[in-house]
């Protein structure tokens, strides 16, 4: 059965195999799992492996083994972006034919010189539209961009409330494909979620700023819009965002062995839930069962914080 015809909730977790998971990744995985399962839905796993140059050998398997060690078992087969190139090409061709995509000859340096300061939410430098009506005669194609509308793109985030963004000011016409043929994350994630029938996207607050771009693409393509919930970020003691090297949790590196239950309880508390301490004596599967039964959206914290074990 096509999952898009099914009315059940389909949530997902989509890590990149560029390194081991960290506690921030675990928060996103647990939050998305609990929300999907409390609704009686499915929770799928996708490996966002488009950027082959940054992938670390063995990390895809390590991510899956680490999730399993926390009892976070996905439904169905693991999806991989690298297997969806034909679908991306088909969608890109349709947008090109519709006249909403155009070639761009601008370099990053040129854009940085002509644009305003990076957007604080996701370090996106708004594109000034230099090639919107045609490239300079001596330019070579560096990317393909989609034209964005002047009107606001608005949506209701389950945790953050109503969010509105004017794409010309925050991103400008954004890249869908590079000149080397590689498809951009914004296009890939929209197509991937549609293919899997994902209708509930629960992820970190750091991706909130890119959501209006994805919603705009969904509208262009006639895709249904998922429900969105952006969770608070895990930060270090000094308030800085965790990097890929901070607070790693890895089956392969042995950083979680014997600590799974304690870490899982700490994540639940970070997410504003109140699990009883006696659960520390139970396996992760039992802790997740408690989490599904007692999940309260209204208890999600409004601010980012530290996962305290």
DSSP line for 86-109: HHHHHHHHHHHHTT-EEEE---HH
**CB contact set of 252 (below 8 Å; sequence gap of 6+):** 20, 58, 61, 62, 65, 66
- Identify the CA nearest to 29 among candidates 1, 56, 69: 69
32 pLDDT band, cuts 50/70/90, is very high
| pLDDT value for 5 | 42
119 pLDDT band, cuts 50/70/90, is very low
Q: Mean pLDDT throughout 269-275?
A: 96
- Identify the CA nearest to 287 among candidates 299, 269, 271, 275: 275
CB 106 within 8 A of CB 142: yes
Pairwise pLDDT comparison (308 vs 219), residue with the higher score: 219
The kind and range of the H/E element at 12 are strand 10-13
| pLDDT value for 140 | 94
Of 67-76, 118-127, 196-205, which gets the smallest average pLDDT?
A: 118-127
pLDDT for 216-271, tens place per residue? 999 999 999 999 999 999 988 777 776 666 688 988 888 888 899 999 999 999 99
Query: Rounded to 10 degrees, what is the CA torsion of 18, 172, 192, 7?
Result: 130
What pairs with residue 248 in β-bridges?
22
Pairwise pLDDT comparison (239 vs 91), residue with the higher score: 91
Q: Mean pLDDT throughout 24-39?
A: 97
Distance CA 297, CA 172 (A): 33
307 pLDDT band, cuts 50/70/90, is confident
Distance CA 273, CA 231 (A): 13
The kind and range of the H/E element at 43 are strand 42-47
Q: Tell how strand 153-157 and strand 42-47 pair up.
A: unpaired
Pairwise pLDDT comparison (107 vs 168), residue with the higher score: 168
**CB contact set of 46 (below 8 Å; sequence gap of 6+):** 12, 13, 14, 78, 79, 80, 81, 192, 196
Round the average pLDDT of the chain to a whole number and report it.
Answer: 91
Of 11-25, 122-136, 154-168, 188-202, which gets the smallest average pLDDT?
A: 122-136
121 pLDDT band, cuts 50/70/90, is very low
Q: Mean pLDDT throughout 54-73?
A: 95
> What's the first-to-final CA gap in the chain, in angstroms?
42
């Amino acid at each position: 059965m096509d999952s898009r015809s099914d009315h059940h909730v389909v949530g997902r977790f989509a890590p990149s195999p560029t390194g081991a998971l960290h506690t921030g990744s675990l928060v996103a995985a647990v939050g998305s799992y609990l929300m999907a399962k409390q609704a009686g839905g499915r929770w799928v796993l996708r490996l966002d492996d488009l950027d082959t140059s940054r992938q670390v050998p063995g990390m895809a398997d390590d991510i899956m083994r680490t999730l399993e060690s926390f009892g976070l078992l996905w439904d169905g087969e693991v999806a991989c972006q690298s297997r969806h190139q034909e679908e991306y090409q088909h969608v890109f061709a349709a947008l090109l034919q519709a006249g909403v995509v155009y070639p761009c000859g601008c370099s990053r340096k040129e854009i940085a010189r002509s644009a305003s300061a990076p957007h604080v939410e996701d370090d996106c430098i708004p594109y000034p539209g230099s090639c919107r009506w045609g490239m300079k005669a001596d330019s070579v194609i560096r990317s393909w961009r989609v034209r964005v509308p002047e009107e606001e793109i608005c949506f209701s985030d389950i945790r953050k409330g109503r969010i509105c963004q004017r794409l010309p000011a925050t991103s400008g016409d954004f890249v869908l494909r590079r000149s080397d043929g590689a498809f951009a994350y914004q296009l890939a994630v929209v197509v991937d979620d549609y293919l899997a029938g994902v209708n509930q996207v629960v992820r970190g607050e750091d991706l909130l700023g890119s959501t209006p771009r994805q919603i705009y693409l969904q509208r262009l393509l006639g895709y249904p819009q998922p429900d969105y919930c952006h969770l608070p970020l895990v930060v270090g003691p000094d308030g800085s965002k965790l990097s890929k090297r901070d607070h790693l949790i890895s089956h392969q590196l042995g950083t979680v062995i014997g600590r799974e239950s304690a870490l899982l309880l700490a994540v639940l508390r970070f997410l504003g839930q109140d699990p009883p301490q006696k659960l520390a004596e139970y396996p992760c599967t039992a802790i997740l069962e408690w989490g599904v039964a007692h999940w309260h959206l209204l208890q999600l914290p409004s601010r980012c914080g530290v996962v305290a074990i």
